[in-house]
Amino acid sequence: MRELGSFYNVISPQISFFVLGSILGLLGCAGETAHDEALAAKRAVEFAETVFVQNDIEKGYRLLSDGTRRHVPIEKFKETVTRMHPKGYPTSVTAREFEPMPGGEKAIYIFLTGDGSGDRFDYKLTLEGSLATDYRVTNLEPGTSSHLLMGHRKTPLKK
């Protein structure tokens, strides 16, 4: 009988840990981030109009998330924007699609297109935030309008 008692003493902490982990995992799933894609798209367009259309780097830099500004100096930000536009800048931008980050992350991708300068521009902006906290840009990169990349998860924005 003593052996059975020691077996439970060994197994019991493991079972307790497993049960606790399972409960925390279920609670984590219940905490999916509620996104407002229209608000995220609005913030992405405000940023893109400021940075890409008006070419107001300093104002655009202030629109970045606090964490991004802590890690990216304004000179690097300006260099990135310039490198994204070797032939010119758009005269207008439009948000076309969105994609929440997988796993319920507190971030969303907004895909934009820009027109002008005789070219079409595609952008992918990453915005951190949620319906409850509003959105700020954390990353910008040339995007693609091709549905070959991530197209199966992109959702067109409602007009």
The tokens of 66 are what? 């606090």
Tell me: do 27 and 102 sit in the same domain. Answer: no
Tokens for 38, please give them. 């229209």
Q: How far is CA 120 from CA 25, 78, 146, in A?
A: 44, 21, 13
88 within 8 A of 115, measured Cβ to Cβ: no
Position 101 scores a pLDDT of 86
DSSP bridge pairs for 99? 109
Based on the domain organization, do 105 and 126 belong to the same domain? yes
Residue among 73, 55, 42 nearest 137 (CA)? 42
Closest by Cα among 68, 70, 49, 71 to 60: 49
Question: Are 21 and 72 found together in one domain?
Answer: no
Residue 145's pLDDT is: 52
Least confident of 9-13, 110-114, 119-123, 150-154: 9-13
Residues 22 and 93 in one domain: no
Q: Which domain holds residue 13?
A: 1-31
Same domain assignment for residues 26 and 43: no
Interval 11-68: pLDDT, tens: 444 444 333 333 434 344 445 678 899 999 999 999 999 999 999 999 999 999 999 9
Same domain, 64 and 142: yes
pLDDT in tens, 75-86: 999 999 999 999
Average pLDDT over residues 112-121: 89
Q: Are both 95 and 71 inside the same structural domain? A: yes
